[in-house]
Copies of this chain bind each other. A is one copy, B any other.
Amino acid sequence: MVDYDQEAVETRIRQSFARQGAMETLGASLSSVSPGVVEIELNYDRKLTQQHGFLHAGVISAALDTACSYAAYTVTTPEVSLLTIEFKVNLMSPGRGERFLFRGEITKPGSNIIVADGRGYALTDGPAKLIASMTSTMMVIRGREGISG
């Protein structure tokens, strides 16, 4: 992390994020990039709900997975790519709120496997409410054609 270049890392991540059709569909934005930690936010929208009108668990997973993946990008070099191998999501409270924050954070960096943890919060009145957590396992990919960023 000696050579951590915040501007280069953030540019790279923002360009990759912009290529994610799903993030645009969810109305998600990348609100913060720092070493080992990335935050994504999105507004409540009826088009993102499950049958009770709460944020769909899949939407929560999409935002947490993206936050965890880009958190991992902050600790890897530009020539490698990352694939999510698996994740686990705990849904702790209904996805009820006006706006949501999803934070991904590196738990264990590595040259082959990176583990990140994420937390999702509903932001409305009062303190942020924890609605979900994720643990995500990613594999570092080198030189696989057609996969970069």
Using a CB–CB cutoff of 8 Å, the interface residues on chain A facing chain B are: 16-17, 19-22, 24-25, 45-53, 56-59, 61-66, 81, 83-94, 107-108, 110, 112-113, 115, 117, 130, 133, 135, 137, 139, 146-149
**Closest-CB distance, A71 to chain B (whole angstroms):** 15
Given A52-B146, A115-B133; A85-B88 close (CB under 8 Å): no
B62 touches A49 (CB 8 A): no
How far apart are the CA atoms of A93 and B56 in the complex, in Å?
24
A-B contact pairs, 8 of them (CB 8 A): A17-B51, A20-B49, A21-B48, A21-B49, A22-B47, A57-B87, A58-B66, A90-B108
In the bound complex, residues from chain B placing their C-beta under 8 Å from that of A135 are: 88, 90, 133, 135
B51 touches A25 (CB 8 A): no
A51 touches B137 (CB 8 A): no
B92 touches A22 (CB 8 A): no
DSSP class of A's interface residues: helix, strand, loop or mixed?
A: mixed
How far apart are the CA atoms of A135 and B83 in the complex, in Å?
19
How far apart are the CA atoms of A21 and B121 in the complex, in Å?
20
A83 touches B91 (CB 8 A): yes
B90 touches A137 (CB 8 A): yes
How far apart are the CA atoms of A147 and B52 in the complex, in Å?
6
In the bound complex, residues from chain B placing their C-beta under 8 Å from that of A146 are: 52
**Closest-CB distance, A38 to chain B (whole angstroms):** 13
